[in-house]
A and B are shown apart, each in its own frame.
Chain A
Amino acid sequence: MKDRKVWKKRLYKDRFLYMMLAPVLAFFFIWHYIPMWGARIAFQDIRYIGDNVWVGFKHFRLLFSSPVFTRVFFNTIIISAMKIGFFFPLPILLAFMINEVRSRPFRKALQSVIYIPHFLSWVVISGIFISLLSSPGGAVNQVILFFGGKPVPFMTSSSHIRWVFVASEIWRSIGWDSILYIAAINSIALELYDAATVDGASRFQQALRITLPSIMPTVITVFILNLGFFMNAGFDQVFNMMNDAVINHVDIIDTYVYRIGLQKGNFSLGTAAGLFKGVIGLFLILSTDRISRKISGEGVW
């Protein structure tokens, strides 16, 4: 009885705070929780007259028996793995290099330039890349021609398009993603380097023995965060760069959901595909969070 009174008192005391929070919570409820409930159409057949019919896992069975979905699933994994494998170490390397720059103006100018691509939309970036990689007039093919090579139609070549994804991801994110590592390097105690210098460690040895181990927690956190979002192979990038010539190599789950669900009007099947991806993603995030807690004693969240 007494507890309830204290409760009520606290609620009353903070009534204005709750009123301020109400629109925010309402937003999350409407924009996030209603669609989560709406995703149940993955288990239903939609009827335009009367109630939808519950069909259990019918759409999921349909999905898993479809060769297109299998291809889309593996494309997602391959593209994601390529991006993590070839992109992930680069911002770390960049942070090490920036840390060695003596001249402050150069450092500032450099940092302001390399963050820019992060703020451009994928529509703009794909416009730029289509032009950059066009054959034979694009800058890249001009360089290839200059060295006596044969021009490559990168955007329409199925053996190159995934590398275009990796390259454009690097172009967009290498600078921005290095910020975290630069901050981590900046917070290393200088005494460590002093001691190493006294011991006669070279600059390179210092980077390897002091800087790298010191920023390892950051590196691990970012890495498992990336693994957590593994199923997002980059919808905006793929959607804006794909074309009919390469579609079989680049079609990922998210583009499939859009095509099957919204364009072809197969709402239940599309939602099922999206839900499948969402559940895998959830599993990945929760398990990487657990791993992170084990390794660094700190969760991702």
Chain B
Amino acid sequence: MVGVKRDTLPKQRPWKRPGQRPGQRPWQRRKLKKGSAASVIIVILLALLALVMIYPIYNQLVIALTGPEYIAAADGTTLIPRGFTLSTFRAVLAVPKVYRGLLNSIYITAAGLVVNIVLTSLGAYVLIKKDLLGRRIFMTLIIITMIFEGGLIPDYFLMRNLNLLNRYASVILYKAVNPYYLIILMRFFSRVPKSLIEAARIDGYDEVRILFKIVVPVSIAGIATISLFYGVFHWNEYFRAMIYLTSEVKWPLQVVMRELIVSMEKAAFIGALNFITSAGAAAIEFKALKAALIIIAIVPILLFYPFVLKYFVTGKLQGSIKE
């Protein structure tokens, strides 16, 4: 095993700016004077913006946690859940469609992520080799797919012809390599020092092992970033799942949720057959049911969010994150 340590990478200091004095960080300098009217106004405006971002989500949480005797009065301005209860969540998770949807979503996201990461890493590793014969042609062919596509109906026909309709594979493999994320990963991979790769080659590593044992581990920030993007993509995908997966038992959570939100009908959502088994959910008011579902769909994203947040805040991805 070649000794790979994180500190073999060139030091990157995203906040280091030209003309900066030692030990000084940009946010320590050249701000408005503390306490000046303008700076107070800006802070207030920004705090208001943060409130606008968070409040609608918080409000859904409040409604989902409000007890049945108070739910009728709960509205957009309710700040604290009266008659606090977790029974709404319990009832929602007991609806077969919902827990199956949750499992389907987890399965599709996990399987999809594995395919995404393996394929994108393979592609990124090969395509950063400048002297590879045909590299420009391959890149051009990939970039063309970013600006022109066959469209929804030819996509659907492709699935039908591959006999993938109503199979999980249709949504797992959909957009298996996203060209934007491929390019992001290529940038990370090209920062891996050549000497490290050469050392591994001398040790007798083949290309596949160099990629997965050296390049991927030292580019973990890049892998984490595209994992978040791909993961969010799979978790949030509803449209392709809705048209490709024809049987309801295979629906991911987003499709189930869409049905409730768009149809606005509780009975159709729970399903006539399930009315007895899901008696708990049937008794719950529509808005609480919907709010609980929304929160259930958001929580997994918020769980993974902090791990990658630091890369966004420090601006390491500068210039590479326009979707």
**A, B: real partners:** yes
Cα-based distance from A115 to B34 in the complex (angstroms): 26
Flag if B313 contacts A108 (CB, 8 Å). Answer: yes
A28: contacting residue among B131, B142, B157, B318, CB under 8 A: B142
Consensus secondary structure, chain B interface: helix
Contacts of B39 in A (CB 8 A): 100, 102
Flag A262-296 by CB within 8 Å of B: 1 or 0 each: 10000100110011001001100110000000000
How many chain A residues touch B (Cβ–Cβ < 8 Å)?
Answer: 107
Flag if B145 contacts A28 (CB, 8 Å). Answer: yes
Contacts of B318 in A (CB 8 A): 179-180, 183-184, 187
Flag if B322 contacts A104 (CB, 8 Å). Answer: no
Q: Report if A163 contacts B (CB, 8 A).
A: no
Min CB–CB distance A185 → chain B (angstroms): 9
B residues 132-164 in Cβ contact with A at 8 Å? 132-133, 138, 141-143, 145-158, 162
Q: Report if A69 contacts B (CB, 8 A).
A: no
Q: Report if B55 contacts A (CB, 8 A).
A: yes
Flag if A35 contacts B154 (CB, 8 Å). Answer: yes
Flag if B294 contacts A127 (CB, 8 Å). Answer: yes
Flag if B238 contacts A121 (CB, 8 Å). Answer: yes
Flag if A189 contacts B145 (CB, 8 Å). Answer: no
Which of B84-92, B106-114, B255-263 interfaces with chain A?
B255-263
Contacts of A33 in B (CB 8 A): 145
Q: How many A-B residue pairs have CB under 8 A?
A: 288
Given A190-B18, A274-B152, verify A7-B177 contact (CB < 8 Å).
Answer: no
Q: Report if A10 contacts B (CB, 8 A).
A: yes
- 24 pairs across A/B with beta carbons < 8 Å? A20-B122, A35-B150, A37-B154, A100-B38, A101-B46, A111-B312, A112-B313, A116-B302, A119-B232, A119-B301, A121-B237, A127-B60, A134-B76, A137-B76, A139-B55, A183-B315, A189-B18, A191-B18, A222-B322, A274-B153, A278-B148, A278-B151, A282-B147, A301-B146
9 cross-chain pairs, A with B, having the tightest CB-CB distances, nearest first: A35-B150, A139-B76, A121-B236, A38-B154, A274-B151, A183-B318, A137-B75, A35-B154, A24-B123
Residues of A within 8 A of B (CB): 7, 10-11, 14, 16-18, 20-21, 23-25, 27-28, 30-39, 41, 94, 97-98, 100-102, 104, 106-117, 119-124, 126-132, 134, 137-142, 171, 174-176, 179-180, 182-184, 186-191, 193-194, 197, 203-204, 222, 225, 228, 235-236, 239-240, 254, 257-258, 261-262, 267, 270-271, 274-275, 278, 281-282, 285-286, 301
